[in-house]
Amino acid sequence: MKITDLFFKKKSSGDVAKDRLKLLLVSDRANCSPEIMEMIKNDIIQVISKYMEIDAEGLDIQITQTESDGNNGTVPALFANIPIKDLGHKSNN
Amino acid sequence: MGIIMSEVIVITSGKGGVGKTTTTANVGTGLAQLNKKVVLIDTDIGLRNLDVVLGLENRIVYNLVDVVEGTCRYKQALIKDKKYPNLFLLPSAQTRDKSSVTPEQMKKLVDELREEFDYILLDCPAGIEQGFQNAIAAADRAIVVTTPEVSAIRDADRIIGLLEANNIKKYNLVVNRIRMDMVKRGDMMNIEDVVEILSIDLIGVVPDDENIVISTNHGEPLVGSDTLSGKAYVNICKRIMGEEVEYLDLSNDGFFKKIAKFFKKNN
């Protein structure tokens, strides 16, 4: 046990399990295979690259949950983290 | 001849080793204790297990594959329990492979058994292949067994999806091997967490109990005995029969009573 654990309450392993499972089941239920995710990722890179320079290596996409604006609670969401290398306008061909 | 209102229940989990066979043996024996006529079918072809848990391994003559292939009539293959004359086992074949039985054959057999039994329990193999497909094809309802672990819960979720896809609309959850000491420390997911994640109605909670190992050593299910798990199994049987039963307090601090109330409100 680290000394910092005495001051900052660590998340219990039960809660860690619950959070991991929630995320895992959302992507399981969405039935998105890693191959399809890879294809989506490559398409996103292609589209965004038309307009700005992005870090294709650092791009991360996953299916998670988000609060819906409607009244049906949480819904699955496609979350993409796309690091931009250069915001400057890419010459439009 | 009037047909008895019989119910065919598949006990399934996806993941292996979470307690399907133990649950089948104890729930089946418990229903027999409550004066129901019960037959347990071991559908795990190639990996016979239910017979040893019931202590009937020395009495097997014919098996499930013999019955569906017409080598014998089902009455010749049924083994009567040592203690309860209204409890029977149809053992699985040990030396055959999973493709020896088809879903259609299973349905036909179960329909024959419906005429004689109140409850037909199908002990499902682990996995989602042929054996699982056979078992669920014949079932009216399902009991999904899980433990409070990520791998078991993930598989249970997949199973629930497949049950829905196969038009089994009535299914309930048994959370097996819960350790209240670990739940209290926050090192194990609690019942509320598991039920919330799987969004499925609970039908039983069985504590992690070394008496289970001892009872399996003897080949005598412990349902009805004066142990926590023995009582938990009796309650599951009563709930299967439609009775409302309070959840046991497994930790002596009222925690489970709160949960019981929580689920009553939600039912």
Domain containing A55: what range?
33-93
Structural domains of chain A, count: 1
Q: Are B3 and B115 in contact (CB under 8 A)?
A: yes
CB-based contact A21 B185, cutoff 8 Å: no
A24 is a domain residue: no
Distance from the A48 Cα atom to the nearest Cα atom in chain B, whole angstroms = 35
A2 is a domain residue: no
Domain containing B208: what range?
7-266
Per-residue pLDDT, A68: 76
Q: Which positions in chain B have a beta carbon within 8 angstroms of at least one beta carbon in chain A?
A: 149-150, 153-154, 157-158, 161, 182-183, 185-190, 193, 197
Contact list in A for residue B187 (CB cut-off 8 A) is 12-14
What ipTM describes this predicted complex?
Answer: 0.80
Structural domains of chain B, count: 1
B2 is a domain residue: no
Beta strands in chain B (DSSP E): 7-12, 38-42, 79-80, 87-90, 119-123, 141-146, 170-178, 202-207
A11 is a domain residue: no
DSSP-assigned letter for residue B248: P
Phi first, then psi, for residue B86 (nearest 5°) are -100, 15
Q: Are B173 and B194 in contact (CB under 8 A)?
A: yes
Show contacts of B56-61: CB within 8 Å, 24+ apart. Answer: B56/B81, B56/B82, B56/B89, B56/B91, B56/B219, B57/B219, B60/B91
Q: Six-digit token pair at A57? A: 């290596």
Report how far apart, in Å, the C-alpha atoms of B229 and of each of A63, B164, B224 are: 39, 29, 9
Show contacts of B74-83: CB within 8 Å, 24+ apart. Answer: B74/B109, B74/B112, B74/B113, B78/B39, B79/B51, B81/B29, B81/B32, B81/B54, B81/B56, B82/B55, B82/B56, B83/B220
A18-27, A49-58, B175-184, B258-267: segment of lowest average pLDDT: B258-267
A3 is a domain residue: no
Report the relative pairing of strands A60-67 and B38-42 from DSSP bridges.
Answer: unpaired
Q: What is the residue whose two structure tokens read 């489970």?
A: B256
CATH code of the domain covering residue B105: 3.40.50.300
Give the number of beta-carbon pairs within 8 Å between A and B: 36
CB-based contact B150 A25, cutoff 8 Å: no
pLDDT per residue rounded down to tens, chain A (93 residues): 555 555 666 789 999 999 999 888 887 887 777 788 888 889 999 999 999 999 988 888 887 777 777 766 677 788 889 999 887 665 554
CB-based contact A21 B190, cutoff 8 Å: no
Q: Are B247 and B220 in contact (CB under 8 A)?
A: no
CB-based contact B190 A14, cutoff 8 Å: yes
